[in-house]
Amino acid sequence: MGLRLKVLGDWLKEHELLDDGADESVQRLVDQLRSDKVMVAFVAEFSRGKSELINAVFFAGYGRRIMPASAGRTTMCPTELGYEAHLPPCLRLLPIETRLKPQALLEWRMAPEQWTRVDLDVNDPAQLAGAMEKVSEVLHVSEDEARALGFWHDDRPEDNPPVNADGSVEVPRWRHALINMAHPLLKQGLVVLDTPGLNAIGAEPELTINLIPQAQAVVFILAADTGVTKSDLTVWRAHLATMEGGEGTRFVVLNKIDTLWDGLSTFEQIDHQIERQCAETAHTLGLSADQVLALSAQKGLLAKVRGDDVLLSESRLPEFEQLLGRQVLAQRQGMLVTAVRGCVANLQTQARRTLAVRRRELSEQLLELKGLRGKNDSVIRQMRLRLEQEKADFDHSASSVLAVRSVHMKLLREVFKLLGSGTIKQELATLSAALREPGLKLGIKKSYASGFDNLRQVMRKVQSLEGEIQAMLSHSFRQLNTEHGFSLHTVSAPDMARFEIDLAAVERSHMQYLGVGAMFQLSRPEFAEKLVRALHARVRSIFETALGDIEIWTKSSSSQLNTQLRERRRAYGRRIEAIQRIQDAAGGLGERIEEIDDQEVALDSIDDKLDRLSRELLTAGGAGASVAAALTTVA
């Protein structure tokens, strides 16, 4: 889809049917098709079979386990699996010591030299699995070092890792891992976030307030033989219970149903026990029944490796894969197809508007030239003088556009300032200072409410300025349409309300985090600094997206004016040139009329090709429905 969209855009540009605003919209959508991601976060306490489920769904085609999934604490650091075309297959690891520095995880992503890179041979399953073992590497540090790194809590001793005989404490060696692989599902934009249990999640605030809340779906994994344990319930209440999105975003998997396969029980009894466990889990977590699935990841993986369809069916893994594909991947694909259809419709509208202007100019020329038949040289010369005067008058009146642009740019500069990093720093200054204050921060929720109220007010000021810009453009366009016969139309301004919704989601994730025992963590200056940086990074991302939408909107509005001014000036030039040729050469009138007829035929041909390229693009977009099926066929 992305390549066909680029082809359409290049063809329109070649025929001068693509203005700057539309060009940027096309490029932005092409980039989105190439790089837009859908994240699925797998969340569980240790030993729930989370890594085995990832192996069964994504890596069974290798004929063995790729992610470490042995008993005990396997995935020790948060791990993202995705695909970036500009990188070779590799595993990148961020040292745990970076937690001692104030930079947010997002900032470390921008510093590739700080990551340890391990190249992957995707054709060698043994090498691949061996490299993945690194995500479970550990260090043995003192209690003080573990405390500084966020893995030792004096106020919650039950959550602390065990102390070795020599007094050392085991902590992950790596803070975060990024795996880049050209797996078919990952190439289609899927990102899998593998999170390593409550203790590790709580130590990394960006997981809780940024990554997990932004995931399009969260898969919470429990063990079927134990159901919802106390630690499971703590993870659920602390990080997942209040997530936005409801049924479309949260799933619970009761893994290890093979532990319930009892030779002394009938299949009906086993199924009844599994269904009862699912119902009890849904009730405990406050979910609907269709959000809870039971399966055996281990048996599903084994069945795929052996090609055992009976065992695969008994594992119930295909049901989970279909749900994941239907609810997440296919939904994303549908959103992208909708975006492409909207973009193509806008391109067709703009191109046909320009083609209509050209047709009208040709028709006027044709009538003008036919009116010269049988006229003498004096009449033709007078017509040329009249056209030159009309062109001069048009150029003079069109200069008034400069005044409109001056006011437009003044208002835009105010918008850019409001959405700049300086505004974020200013509006969050009180909240940032409160977070950085030493000791317990008992009034911090009020500071958050005040800070986010400030940010919402910024968005409302931007919306108000958008209204002023739109009103000014509407008035100017109506005037130009009346005076010059243009077909200018105002483009709807971006709705800032959706960015207020994004800000509200960030605020909720912070409020939830502060309400689950993070107050003692927050009393540590280095932890509070991380939270401040993570907050600023997330808000900056929202503001930059809003600014990007506004830039495209203003370009779309001003570019159509530039296009119609250009077309009118060219038309005057062609008309004057045609009359000059008629004056200079006998018989030139008929030749010029034939040229105009040929140009009209060429415009019809361009219109037909526009239709064909658009249909081909939209037909290719419809093929995206196969994404969901890929989950069951890629193995």
Q: What is the pLDDT of residue 635?
A: 43
Q: Among candidates 255, 231, 342, which has minimal Cα distance to 49?
A: 255
Q: What is the pLDDT of residue 222?
A: 92
Task: Specify whether the CB–CB gap between 174 and 88 falls below 8 A.
Answer: no
Amino acid letter for position 49 = G
Q: pLDDT class for 585, splitting at 50, 70, 90? A: low
Q: Return d(Cα 507, Cα 504) in angstroms, integer.
A: 5
Cβ of 6: how many Cβ atoms within 10 Å? 16
Q: Is the pLDDT of residue 168 over 80?
A: yes
Task: Specify whether the CB–CB gap between 25 and 556 falls below 8 A.
Answer: yes
Mean pLDDT, the chain, whole residue set: 82
Q: Is the pLDDT of residue 19 over 80?
A: no
Q: What is the pLDDT of residue 303?
A: 95
CB contact set of 156 (below 8 Å; sequence gap of 6+) = 517, 520
Q: What is the pLDDT of residue 246?
A: 43
Tokens of 291: 């959000």
Q: What is the pLDDT of residue 1?
A: 64
Q: Is the pLDDT of residue 519 over 80?
A: no
Q: Is the pLDDT of residue 560 over 60?
A: yes
CB contact set of 490 (below 8 Å; sequence gap of 6+) = 470, 473, 474, 477, 557
Q: Return d(Cα 234, Cα 228) in angstroms, integer.
A: 10
Q: What angle do CA 195, 303, 273 make, to 5 degrees?
A: 75
Q: Is the pLDDT of residue 506 over 60?
A: yes
Task: Specify whether the CB–CB gap between 507 and 499 falls below 8 A.
Answer: no
Q: What is the pLDDT of residue 423?
A: 93
Range with the largest mean pLDDT of 1-10, 28-37, 208-217, 425-434: 425-434
Task: Specify whether the CB–CB gap between 528 and 522 falls below 8 A.
Answer: yes
Q: What is the pLDDT of residue 632?
A: 43
Helix (H) or strand (E) holding 336, with range, is helix 330-370
Q: pLDDT class for 300, splitting at 50, 70, 90? A: very high
Q: What is the pLDDT of residue 361?
A: 81
Q: Return d(Cα 104, Cα 211) in angstroms, integer.
A: 12
CB contact set of 427 (below 8 Å; sequence gap of 6+) = 451, 454, 455, 458
Task: Specify whether the CB–CB gap between 200 and 77 falls below 8 A.
Answer: yes
Q: Among candidates 321, 329, 247, which has minimal Cα distance to 291?
A: 247
Phi, psi of 92 (to 5 degrees): -115, 135
Least confident of 119-128, 257-266, 400-409: 400-409
Q: Is the pLDDT of residue 28 over 80?
A: no
Q: Return d(Cα 501, Cα 273) in angstroms, integer.
A: 42
Q: Is the pLDDT of residue 364 over 70?
A: yes
Q: Among candidates 49, 4, 388, which has minimal Cα distance to 219?
A: 49
DSSP 580-625: HHHHHSTTHHHHHHHHHHHHHHHHHHHHHHHHHHHHHHHHHHHGGG
Instruction: Collapse the DSSP code of 140 into the 3-class scheme (helix H, G, I; strand E, B; otherwise coil) and give the result.
Output: strand
Q: pLDDT class for 117, splitting at 50, 70, 90? A: very high
Task: Specify whether the CB–CB gap between 209 and 513 falls below 8 A.
Answer: yes
Task: Give the DSSP letter of residue 73.
Answer: S
Least confident of 204-218, 315-329, 354-368, 509-523: 509-523
Q: What is the pLDDT of residue 362?
A: 84
Q: Among candidates 193, 73, 217, 69, which has minimal Cα distance to 132?
A: 69
| 36-137+173-315 CATH, one of 3.20.20.70, 3.40.50.300, 3.40.50.11890, 3.60.110.10 | 3.40.50.300
Q: pLDDT class for 230, splitting at 50, 70, 90? A: confident
DSSP collapsed to 3 states, 430-478: HHHHHHHCCCCCCCHHHHHHHHHHHHHHHHHHHHHHHHHHHHHHHHHHH
Q: What is the pLDDT of residue 520?
A: 67
Tokens of 24: 């940027």
CB contact set of 215 (below 8 Å; sequence gap of 6+) = 39, 40, 41, 193, 249
Q: Return d(Cα 256, Cα 235) in angstroms, integer.
A: 19
Q: pLDDT class for 95, splitting at 50, 70, 90? A: very high
Q: What is the pLDDT of residue 48?
A: 86
Burial class (CB in 10 A: 0-12, 13-18, 19+), 27: middle
Handedness of CA 178, 527, 152, 285 (dihedral sign): negative
Q: Among candidates 250, 287, 254, which has minimal Cα distance to 271?
A: 254
Range with the largest mean pLDDT of 4-8, 160-164, 423-427: 423-427
Q: What is the pLDDT of residue 481?
A: 84
Rounded to two decimals, the pTM is 0.69
Tokens of 286: 């406050």
DSSP 514-531: HTTT-HHHHTSHHHHHHH
Q: What is the pLDDT of residue 419?
A: 93
Burial class (CB in 10 A: 0-12, 13-18, 19+), 608: exposed
Amino acid letter for position 536 = H
Q: Is the pLDDT of residue 462 over 90?
A: yes
What is the tens place of the pLDDT at every residue in 617-629? 777 655 444 444 4
Amino acid letter for position 548 = G
Burial 353-380 (b: 16+ CB within 10 A, else e): bbbebbbebbeebbeebeebeeeeeeeb
Handedness of CA 557, 558, 559, 564 (dihedral sign): positive
Q: Return d(Cα 591, Cα 597) in angstroms, integer.
A: 10
Q: pLDDT class for 555, splitting at 50, 70, 90? A: confident
Taking residues 404-431, report their average pLDDT.
87
Burial class (CB in 10 A: 0-12, 13-18, 19+), 212: buried
Question: What does R_g of the chain's alpha carbons equal in angstroms?
Answer: 32
DSSP 222-291: EETTTBS-HHHHHHIIIIITT-TTGGGTEEEEEE-GGGG--TTS-HHHHHHHHHHHHHHHHHHHT--GGG
Q: pLDDT class for 14, splitting at 50, 70, 90? A: confident
What is the tens place of the pLDDT at every residue in 31-89? 666 666 788 888 888 778 888 898 998 888 888 888 887 655 555 788 899 998 889 99
Q: pLDDT class for 339, splitting at 50, 70, 90? A: confident
